[in-house]
Structures are given as structure tokens and as C-alpha cells.
């Protein structure tokens, strides 16, 4: 493991973007340290001001500081993206393990359902759930999470199939370990690198999905800021006050870019083919 970490950090690229991501996380965890204004505090005398030293990213229609809203929006978006992928990975892994380890009818049913979800474009599916059940934080996490369940299920199933036939699993069976224990220890442990890579790469797309929902006005309702929501609110003013749209979009791009580069880097060091 140590060797892997060292190899990962040796790449200056990975280093830089890891630092960026860590600072983004710091901002998300301690928004109050970074935001100079409250996310909801309105200033009727500073309406729609362009970027300046006072308001780094300018202000919106209510004189709210876009930078501060981005900071708090970042927190919401990180929570949503992270929780939904966590949700997806837990459910997906369990389903994938069952399908891959037991095979047979289980495999058939689970994989057919996954196919069904795959035939449903991810954004449409999430949009559907949110439009219909309302856009509370929890609903949003579940809506985005469900989209990613089949991806985890499929990946884990594939990996489980190969691990199942390996010598040590057979050995565990011989010494009388229960199926449950084998799945939990031997199989899951062997899947960890696959899971880590799948987790990071999908984290970035989940982030984008949340942003797209926000853009369509389906993310957490205002006045709560989310990054996608900020972009969406700005589009009506796109030609008069482009900063409302462009800065939050930039923040999204930076976060997703860091996640993608780290995912790439992780794949390089974890993927057996590259060892």
C-alpha cells in the first residue's frame, strides 16, 4: 500500500490536484472561515454588482455575495455528491456481491433490473425522481444515488466472478468459512482497489449530475445555494450579468477536474495492468 501511495504522489500532477481538492474540502467543511458574507444576507444597495475586491465574484439580484454563496453551495454540492455515491456504492456492492457470488436466479434478476436502469439515461432518471418526489436534500441524495447503483453492481459483480474462482476463496470454503464471511472478508478485500477507482470516477460525474439538476431548478430549493442552482438562476441574466453564471460554473469545473485527475492517477497506480 505504501508503495502505491508513494507512486501516486510522485506524479507532480497528482500532487497539485490533491492539494487543490484538499483545499476545496477545507472550504466545504469550514465555509464560515472563507465566506465574508452570509449566504442569505441580502443587500438592497449592492444589487447585481460585477466582480470587485469587495465582492470577488460579484453579487446577485438580491445583493447577495456570489463568492459566499459559492462557498456554501460547494458544501451542499459536496455533501450531495459524496453521500449519493456512498449510498450507491453500498447498495451496488451488496447487489453485485450477491449476483456475482451466488449467480443463478439472483444474478439474472439483479442484472436485468440493472439493465433496466441502464436503459434509462441517468439525468432523466434523477430528474424524474426529484421532479416527482420533491427536492429535499435526502431525496436528492437518493435520486442521484440510484442512478449510480447499477454501475457499482455491475463492476463488483464482474470482479466477484473472477475472485470467486481464485484459490484463496476456494481455500476459505474448504476450511469451513461461511459464505457471508467469505464475501465480507476475502472477496470484498480483493475488490478494494476496483471500488476505490469506481468511487472516485463516479464521484465526479455525480457532482456534475447534481449541478445539472440544479441548473434545471431541481436541486435543493433556494435560498439554500448549490453550485448548479447558482448557475441556473443566473442564466436569465446571462447577457446582462454573466458573472452570476460563469463563476459558479468555474468552481464546478475545478472540483470535477481535480476529481477526474485524481481518479486517473489512482487508476494508473491501482490498475493491475499498469503495475
Partner 1 sequence: MKKLLVVILAVLVVVAVFAQKSGGRLVIAMETEPVGLDPHLVTAFASHRVLENVYDSLLKYGEGMKLVPNLAEEAQAVDPYTIVFKIREDVKFHDGTPMTVEDVLFSFERILNPDTKSPAAAFYQDVESIKAIGDNKIEFKLKKPMASTLLPNFAGVNSSIVSKKFVESGKNLQLETNGTGPFYLAEYVPGNYMILKKNPYYFVKDQPYLDEIKIVFMPEEVSRVAALKNGDVDIAKINEPLNLKQFPEGKFKIHRSPVLSYYLIGINTTRKPLNDPRVRNALNYAINREAIIKTVVFSEGVVTGPLNPAVQPWALLPKSFDEYTYNPAKAKELLAQAGYPNGFEFEIVTSQRYNFDKVAQVIQAQLAEVGVKVKIDLVEWGIFIKRWRESDFDAFISMNSGSIEPDIQFYRTFHTGGSTNVFLYSNPRVDELLDLGRSTVDITKRKEIYDELQRIIVKESPVIFLYSANQIFVSSASVENFKLLANESLVFLRETYKK
Partner 2 sequence: MSFAYLVRRVVTSIPTVLFVAFVVFITIHLVPGNVVDMMLGTQNYLTQEQIDQLYKEYGLDKPLIVQFGIWLKNIATLDFGTSLRTGKKVINLIMDRFPVTLELSVLSMFFATIIGVPLGIVAAVKRNSFVDGVLRVVGLIGLSSPSFWVGAILIVIFAGLFQGFNIFGYVRLKEDFLKNLQVMFLPSLTLGLMLSAQIMRMTRSSMLDALQQEYIKTAKAKGVSHSKVIGKHALKNALIPIITLSGIQLGYLLAGTIVIENMFALPGLGRLLLQAVNERDYPVIQFVVMFIALLIVVLNIVVDFIYTLVDPRVELR
Residues that bind partner 2 (CB under 8 A): 112-113, 115-116, 118-124, 127-129, 131-133, 204, 208, 211-212, 215-216, 228, 231-232, 235, 238-239, 242, 245-246, 249-250, 252-253, 256-257, 259-261, 264
Q: Which of 235, 253, 271, 275 binds partner 1 (CB under 8 A)?
A: 235
Choose between 113 and 131: whose C-beta lies nearer to partner 1: 131
Choose between 37 and 243: whose C-beta lies nearer to partner 2: 243
Query: What is the footprint of partner 1 within residues 181-220 (CB under 8 A)?
Result: 217
Cα–Cα dist 26/52, whole Å? 24
- Judging by beta carbons within 10 Å of its beta carbon (0-12, 13-18, 19+), is residue 257 exposed, middle or buried? middle
Those residues whose C-beta lies under 8 Å from the C-beta of residue 229, and which sit 6 or more positions away, are 73, 214, 215, 217, 219, 220, 222
Choose between 59 and 212: whose C-beta lies nearer to partner 2: 212
What's the longest Cα–Cα distance across the chain? 76
Give the shortest CB-1-to-partner 2 separation in angstroms. Answer: 26
252, HSE (Cβ side, Cα atoms, 13 Å) = 26
Q: Using the rule CB under 8 A, is 102 a contact of partner 1?
A: no
For residue 182, give the nearest of 199, 157, 160 by alpha carbon. 160
Distances from the Cα of 80 to the Cαs of 43, 187, 210, in angstroms? 29, 29, 7
Q: Using the rule CB under 8 A, is 109 a contact of partner 1?
A: no
Q: Which of 9, 26, 238, 253 binds partner 1 (CB under 8 A)?
A: 238
| Cβ atoms 163, 186 nearer than 8 A | yes
Binding site for partner 1 (CB under 8 A): 40-42, 44, 47-48, 61-63, 131-132, 134-135, 217, 221-223, 235-241
Amino acid at each position: 500500500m505504501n508503495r502505491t501511495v508513494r507512486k501516486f504522489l510522485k506524479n507532480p500532477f497528482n500532487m497539485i490536484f490533491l492539494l487543490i481538492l484538499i483545499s476545496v474540502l477545507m472550504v466545504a467543511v469550514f465555509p464560515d472561515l472563507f465566506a465574508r458574507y452570509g449566504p442569505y444576507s441580502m443587500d438592497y444597495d449592492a444589487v447585481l454588482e460585477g466582480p470587485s475586491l469587495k465582492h470577488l465574484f460579484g453579487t446577485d439580484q438580491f445583493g447577495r455575495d456570489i463568492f459566499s454563496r459559492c462557498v456554501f453551495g460547494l458544501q451542499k454540492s459536496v455533501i450531495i455528491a459524496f453521500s449519493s455515491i456512498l449510498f450507491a456504492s453500498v447498495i451496488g456492492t451488496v447487489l453485485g456481491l450477491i449476483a456475482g457470488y451466488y449467480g443463478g436466479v439472483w444474478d439474472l434478476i439483479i442484472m436485468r433490473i440493472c439493465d433496466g436502469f441502464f436503459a434509462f439515461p441517468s439525468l432523466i432518471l434523477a430528474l424524474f425522481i426529484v421532479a416527482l418526489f420533491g427536492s429535499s436534500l435526502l431525496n436528492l441524495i437518493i435520486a442521484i444515488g440510484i442512478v449510480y447503483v447499477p454501475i457499482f453492481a455491475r463492476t463488483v459483480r464482474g470482479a466477484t466472478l473472477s475472485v470467486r474462482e481464485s484459490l484463496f476463496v476456494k481455500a476459505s470454503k474448504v476450511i469451513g468459512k461461511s459464505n457471508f464471511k467469505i464475501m465480507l472478508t476475502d472477496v470484498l478485500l480483493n475488490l478494494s482497489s476496483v471500488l476505490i477507482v469506481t468511487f472516485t470516477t463516479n464521484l465526479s460525474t455525480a457532482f456534475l449530475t447534481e449541478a445539472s439538476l440544479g441548473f434545471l431548478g431541481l436541486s435543493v430549493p433556494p435560498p439554500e445555494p448549490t453550485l448548479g442552482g447558482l448557475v441556473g438562476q443566473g442564466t436569465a441574466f446571462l447577457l446582462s450579468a454573466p458573472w452570476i453564471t460563469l463563476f459558479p460554473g468555474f468552481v464546478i469545473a475545478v472540483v470535477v477536474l481535480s476529481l477526474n485527475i485524481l481518479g486517473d492517477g489512482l487508476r494508473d497506480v491501482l490498475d493491475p495492468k499498469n503495475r
